[in-house]
Copies of this chain bind each other. A is one copy, B any other.
Amino acid sequence: MQSIANINIFISFTEILTQMKKQGETTIHDIARKLNIAASTVSRALNNNPIISEPTRKLIEKTAKEMGYRPNTLAASFRTKRTNMIGVVLPLINRHFFSSVISGIEEVAYSSGFAVTISQTNDNFEKEEKIIQTLFSNRVDGLIVSIGMQTQTFNHLKLFSDKKIPLVFFDRVVEEIDADKIVVDDYRGGFIATEHLIEHGATKIAHIGGPLNVKIYKDRLSGYKDAMNKAGLPIDENMLIHNSLTREDGTNAIKKLLLNEEKPDAIFCANDTTALSVIIYLREHGIKVPDNISIVGFSNEPFSELVTPSISTIRQPGFEMGKKAAELLINHIKQKEQHTSSQTIVMPTELIVRESSGRD
């Protein structure tokens, strides 16, 4: 009887001590002290190190749970130099394509025990630099990046590639840096979009494209040009406009195109956002789509099938790209030693024909 009472007193006393000292955070040392074993044993048990005997492991796990132990990832990361965290940096999360990519990344990452931290640059170079610096300082294990439209220098990204921290680009990639890349076949996307317009009888096809320092827009333009050439159609410089592809840019672009001597009878837009603003502008000015002007966009944003007329576009498999990017990155993280030569994965693009280019 008495000894039991003593034990109880002892237990509550240590508990009070623990609470006083740590402000509520139990550490492996607290567990070790309570069980009269070494902290290293606790650490090993909690990390499922097979060297620990089954009974001790059970006991430690039980005690840890009772004491409300929560591992301090910060301390562990500090010690091991591995954070189990991967950074995702992209221009804008509020785009269906990008958030699909994120979902793909997350699916793979979570099932592999990695956390994901997402940041958006808003296509602002300074913000992109700062975010990537922060991510580096936070010692993410790897980075998945789609660069901004303004980005023309890459020192902030070389920080990662130089230090051999795994880096994977997707969509808007940096050609100058040796790293894995996941892209869609933008060239072919541009080609089939333009060819489709030609097949529907268009001859004066304009192109609203993005900045040419970004590879995807260069490729989409090349596809457009080759399709035009193949059909023997001339390429009129007045029919080519390059901007940042915002809603406003689209409106300005169509205004400008309509001022041309020769008006376009079709437009291949490098994204759905500009396709949308073009359609809205034309609708407001009584120009019929697709009867007077046919339109094809790019990316298959959800709104493209909802607007009237619905927008013909090029599908990009965002979710799959995200999954692939995460798989590649995590592979690299896990087998850091053998730096396998970097690869570029090209995913297929697909034309979706809707009303804006004359689906019957």
Least CB distance, A1 to chain B, in whole angstroms = 35
Please give, as numbers and ranges, the residues of chain B lying within 8 Å of A120 by CB-CB distance.
102-103, 106
In the complex formed, the residue of B with least CB distance to A309 is: B308
Number of copies of chain A assembled together:
2
Which of A52-60, A134-142, A179-187, A258-266 interfaces with chain B?
A: A134-142
In the complex formed, the residue of B with least CB distance to A138 is: B73
Residue among A115, A122, A276 with most chain B CB within 10 A = A115
Within 8 A of B (CB), among A83-97: 83, 85, 93-94, 96
Interface membership of A11, Cβ < 8 A: no
Q: Residue-by-residue, is A113-138 near B (CB-CB < 8 Å gives 1, otherwise 0)? A: 00111111010000100110110111
Please give, as numbers and ranges, the residues of chain B lying within 8 Å of A102 by CB-CB distance.
93-94, 120
Bound together, the chains give a CA A72 to CA B70 distance in angstroms of: 23
In the complex formed, the residue of B with least CB distance to A280 is: B306
B276 touches A306 (CB 8 A): yes
Bound together, the chains give a CA A137 to CA B73 distance in angstroms of: 5
Which of A29-37, A74-82, A236-244, A339-347 interfaces with chain B?
A: A74-82
Contact with A71, one of B73, B116, B137 (Cβ below 8 angstroms): B137
Within 8 A of B (CB), among A15-63: 24
Bound together, the chains give a CA A154 to CA B330 distance in angstroms of: 32
Contacts A/B (CB < 8 Å), 27 sampled: A70-B133, A70-B136, A71-B137, A72-B137, A73-B137, A74-B74, A74-B78, A75-B78, A85-B138, A93-B93, A93-B99, A94-B94, A94-B99, A94-B102, A103-B120, A106-B119, A106-B120, A115-B117, A115-B119, A115-B134, A116-B119, A118-B118, A118-B119, A276-B306, A303-B306, A307-B307, A307-B308
